[in-house]
């Protein structure tokens, strides 16, 4: 079972953004590869701390984790840092370490690239994926075509002469307190430590071209409208021979169902029946997210009756089972009558069987609403 992110960083859910950052820095320094050479357990703890920080430092991811736990990011490498490697960690969170390991984040234990060279990560891409209610309820694999920036074939890079491949330039300033040394990102190479040596004519100034890429996305059952999933390494490439691609952020867009209405993990269906069906009882085929099922309506059923079909709703993304399907029975009143029908109902006005006699077990509309939301 995966360890709780808050437990990994040694904080509670009420921790502020600054406290989360401070806790991560403490863990990162404690388990840093330079302090624990050859220690596989320390390396694993280092990765876990980075994974926890990636989620908890992002307000959207943190909110999803607080609601759904690890299940919010399961299947296909979505969401949190599952599968993060050292390059990902140093490229994304290197600034957290500050000067604890010589400033910057290149060349840590051989993970950040040779010669202190910085690993630049490409920008993320964001797309919307439309899903039907059936796809959401059952999970689906979508194959989509994404336009993203990739390094042009034949492009080559060389070490930046301005920063000598470090990605940073040092500046020394004389102050009343003495000489102060500060580091800033190299303005020539953008921090990659490399500049273009040669590129094909169709490439842009950074040696990049646009390309179509087919991406397969496994979407777990139970996702909701607006939820974001992450496909690692399917964003834009970054320039340089030592760079890593960004990520593809997938935003879920739920297509409204024609008859079923979703409320969290529960589904609602309005079922209309005639006076005759209500009086005599009947069987009806109704639609669910897993096909049609037949339900039986007892004779004398009242309009407003709610039938609950257990487990016929949407699965919990946190693997806590499925919601229910609530069928709302509505007795349809005809708007036009033939002469014979009118005569029948006129005779029924004084018939004892047609006079309303609600029983105590027949709940009022407000009681039904209260029950539904509880």
Average pLDDT of span 20-43: 85
Residues 167 and 126 in one domain: no
pLDDT of residue 280: 93
Residues 164 and 231 in one domain: no
Average pLDDT of span 276-290: 93
Which CATH number do you get for residue 29? Answer: 1.10.287.110
Q: Using alpha carbons, select from 308, 221, 303 the residue that is nearest to residue 266.
A: 308
Token duo for residue 317: 């993304």
Name the phi and psi angles at 2, rounded to 5.
-70, 140
Token duo for residue 215: 């991406």
Give the dihedral of Cα atoms 311, 314, 317, 318; nearest 10 deg. -30
Residues 75 and 162 in one domain: no
pLDDT of residue 345: 87
Residues 229 and 307 in one domain: no
Model confidence pLDDT, tens digit, residues 135-166: 999 999 999 999 999 999 999 999 989 988 88
Q: How far is CA 15 from CA 19, 21, 31, 264, in A?
A: 6, 10, 22, 28
Those residues whose C-beta lies under 8 Å from the C-beta of residue 363, and which sit 6 or more positions away, are 371
pLDDT of residue 314: 94
**DSSP H helical ranges for the chain:** 5-9, 17-30, 40-56, 59-68, 86-93, 133-138, 275-280, 339-348, 365-373
Residues 185 and 239 in one domain: no
Contact criterion met (CB below 8 Å) for 326 and 306:
yes
Last residue of one domain, picked from the residues 98, 119, 140: 119
Range with lowest mean pLDDT among 67-81, 190-204, 208-222: 67-81
pLDDT of residue 118: 58
For residues 173 and 107, the model is more confident at: 173
Among residues of the chain, what percentage have pLDDT more than 90?
A: 47
Contact criterion met (CB below 8 Å) for 314 and 256:
no
pLDDT beyond 70 at 23: yes
pLDDT of residue 108: 39
pLDDT of residue 68: 79
Residues 238 and 144 in one domain: yes
Residues 98 and 142 in one domain: no
Those residues whose C-beta lies under 8 Å from the C-beta of residue 100, and which sit 6 or more positions away, are 25, 29, 32
The upper half-sphere exposure of residue 198, i.e. CA atoms within 13 Å in the direction of its Cβ, equals 3
Model confidence pLDDT, tens digit, residues 320-355: 789 999 999 999 998 899 999 899 888 888 888 888
Residues 216 and 109 in one domain: no
pLDDT of residue 313: 94
Residues 104 and 134 in one domain: no
How many angstroms separate the CA atoms of 7 and 52, rounded?
Answer: 9
pLDDT of residue 202: 92
DSSP letter at 114 equals G
- pLDDT confidence bin for 358, thresholds 50/70/90: confident
Q: How far is CA 70 from CA 1, 51, 60, 148, 157, in A?
A: 10, 11, 14, 29, 40
- pLDDT confidence bin for 215, thresholds 50/70/90: very high
pLDDT beyond 60 at 194: yes
Model confidence pLDDT, tens digit, residues 80-106: 555 565 556 655 555 555 544 444 443
- pLDDT confidence bin for 260, thresholds 50/70/90: very high
Farthest-apart Cα atoms in the chain, separation:
107
pLDDT beyond 80 at 284: yes
Average pLDDT, the chain: 83
For residues 229 and 361, the model is more confident at: 229
How many angstroms separate the CA atoms of 251 and 230, rounded?
Answer: 9
pLDDT of residue 76: 42
Which domain, by its residues, includes 364? 260-373
Q: What is the reported pTM?
A: 0.62
Which CATH number do you get for residue 130? Answer: 2.60.260.20
Residues 147 and 39 in one domain: no
Last residue of one domain, picked from the residues 198, 215, 231: 198
Residues 295 and 363 in one domain: yes
Average pLDDT of span 261-277: 94
Last residue of one domain, picked from the residues 70, 94, 119: 119
pLDDT beyond 60 at 77: no
Domain count, the chain: 4
Residues 312 and 354 in one domain: yes
């Amino acid at each position: 079972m995966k360890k709780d992110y808050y437990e990994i960083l040694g904080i509670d859910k009420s921790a502020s953004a600054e406290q989360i950052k401070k806790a991560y820095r403490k863990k990162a320094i404690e388990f840093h590869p330079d302090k624990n050479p050859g220690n596989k357990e320390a390396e694993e703890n280092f990765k876990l701390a980075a994974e926890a920080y990636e989620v908890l430092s992002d307000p959207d991811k943190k909110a999803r984790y607080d609601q759904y736990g690890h299940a919010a990011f399961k299947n296909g490498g979505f969401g949190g840092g599952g599968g993060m490697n050292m390059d990902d960690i140093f490229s994304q969170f290197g600034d957290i370490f500050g000067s604890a390991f010589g400033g910057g984040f290149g060349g840590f234990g051989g993970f950040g690239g040779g010669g202190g060279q910085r690993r630049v990560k490409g920008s993320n891409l964001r797309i919307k994926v439309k899903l039907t209610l059936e796809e959401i309820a059952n999970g689906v694999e979508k194959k989509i075509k994404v336009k993203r920036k990739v390094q042009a074939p034949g492009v080559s890079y060389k070490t930046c002469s301005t920063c000598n491949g470090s990605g940073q330039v040092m500046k020394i300033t004389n102050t009343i307190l003495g000489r102060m040394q500060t580091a800033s990102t190299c303005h020539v190479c953008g921090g990659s430590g490399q500049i273009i040596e040669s590129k094909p004519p169709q490439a842009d100034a950074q040696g990049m071209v646009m390309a179509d890429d087919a991406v397969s996305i496994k979407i777990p059952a139970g996702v909701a409208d607006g939820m974001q999933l992450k496909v690692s390494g399917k964003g834009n490439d970054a320039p340089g021979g030592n760079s890593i691609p960004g990520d593809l952020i997938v935003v879920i867009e739920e297509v409204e169902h024609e008859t079923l209405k979703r409320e969290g993990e529960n589904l609602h269906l309005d079922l209309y029946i005639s006076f005759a069906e209500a009086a005599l009882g009947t069987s009806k085929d109704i639609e669910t997210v897993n096909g049609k099922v037949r339900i039986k309506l007892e004779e004398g059923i009242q309009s407003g009756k709610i039938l609950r079909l257990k487990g016929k709703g949407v699965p919990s993304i946190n693997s806590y089972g499925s919601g229910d399907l609530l069928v709302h029975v509505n007795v349809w009143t005809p708007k036009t009558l033939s002469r014979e029908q009118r005569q029948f109902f006129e005779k029924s006005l004084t018939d004892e069987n047609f006079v309303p006699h609600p029983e105590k077990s027949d709940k009022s509309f407000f009681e039904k609403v209260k029950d539904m939301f509880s």
